Amino acid sequence: MTRRPFIAGNWKMNTRRQTAIELVRQLLNGLNQDVRTEVAVCPPNPYLTVVADLVAGSPIELGAQNLYPAGDGAYTGEVHAGMLTDVGCRFVILGHSERRQYFAETDAFVAEKLQSALAGNLVPIVCVGETLEQRQADQTDEVVRAQILGSLEGLDEVRAAGIVIAYEPVWAIGTGLTATPEQAEAVHQLIRKLLGELFTPEVAAQIRIQYGGSVKADNAAQLLSQPNIDGALVGGASLKAADFLAIIAAAEATLA
């Protein structure tokens, strides 16, 4: 089973209207119309519509960085799945380590968001990953296992095949430290095995697992050549068109 590579840019709380427009224009200029890799950008909420208009009809898809698991109602400051699809989002990042760290998001809350995303026809990108302390204490496998079990709680086999997982070791995010391809592949293998136990090996073989954490133009090829690394969730390097395009090119090269 070949999984289509998927490169997503997580802009986090960066860009302004004008820099977002320029970045997307450069990406559109540099991207082949027939690119086989799936490509998405996830701008901050205020810029979703402006980016949606620019990427309409192009190979670039749109994602959001979070959602709140409810419908219309009195939830000041929050945004739900129906609003995100309404402005053209196809993806939503869930349970990013920054949300787990700064906003105390638990696996149970991520699982609620996952249900809400799927019910609202969004493709969730569910993030997991260990901290440096946990890796040094040799707890990576159990931490990632618990996060997968908790965050995917209530997910059925039929819907599972369509989700995306992002393995993002916390110590590699924004630090310039990248997991070696071997370190990343080992955890991706573990995740796929676990997904096979939770669902079926056939379903697990369809689920795309991205790596995230200081993915750059110069390390993407090695990471993406690993058999269980199906793409990348890119933070810093997604803010520079040339770097993001080079990462997409590295994904394309795995298809050659």
Does residue 229 belong to the site contacting ligand PGA (CB under 6 A)?
no
Residue choice 107, 168, 185, 230 for contact with ligand PGA (CB under 6 A): 168
With both helix axes pointing from N to C terminus, report the angle between 107-119 and 140-151 in degrees, rounded to the nearest 10.
40
- Residue 143: helix, strand or coil by DSSP? helix
Using CA atoms, how far apart are residues 221 and 81, in angstroms rounded to an integer?
33
Nearest residue (CB) to ligand PGA, 174 versus 201 = 174
* Cβ 65 to ligand PGA shortest distance, Å: 9
Q: Dihedral sign for Cα 14, 222, 123, 34, please.
A: positive
Does residue 63 belong to the site contacting ligand PGA (CB under 6 A)?
no
Q: Which stretch binds ligand PGA (CB under 6 A): 29-37, 68-76, 136-144, 211-219?
A: 211-219
Does residue 95 belong to the site contacting ligand PGA (CB under 6 A)?
no
Catalytic residue list: 96, 168
Does residue 174 belong to the site contacting ligand PGA (CB under 6 A)?
yes
Q: Which stretch binds ligand PGA (CB under 6 A): 72-80, 103-111, 167-175, 184-192?
A: 167-175
* Cβ 175 to ligand PGA shortest distance, Å: 7
Judge contact between 219 and 2, C-beta under 8 A.
Answer: no
Residue nearest to ligand PGA (CB): 235
Using CA atoms, how far apart are residues 50 and 22, in angstroms rounded to an integer?
11
* Cβ 192 to ligand PGA shortest distance, Å: 20
Closest CA to 32 of 254, 249, 250: 249
Does residue 235 belong to the site contacting ligand PGA (CB under 6 A)?
yes
Residue 14: Cβ-neighbour burial (10 angstroms; 0-12, 13-18, 19+): middle
Strand partners, 68: none
Judge contact between 52 and 72, C-beta under 8 A.
Answer: no
* Cβ 94 to ligand PGA shortest distance, Å: 12
The residues of the shown chain that bind ligand PGA, judged by CB under 6 A, are: 10, 168, 173-174, 212-215, 233-237
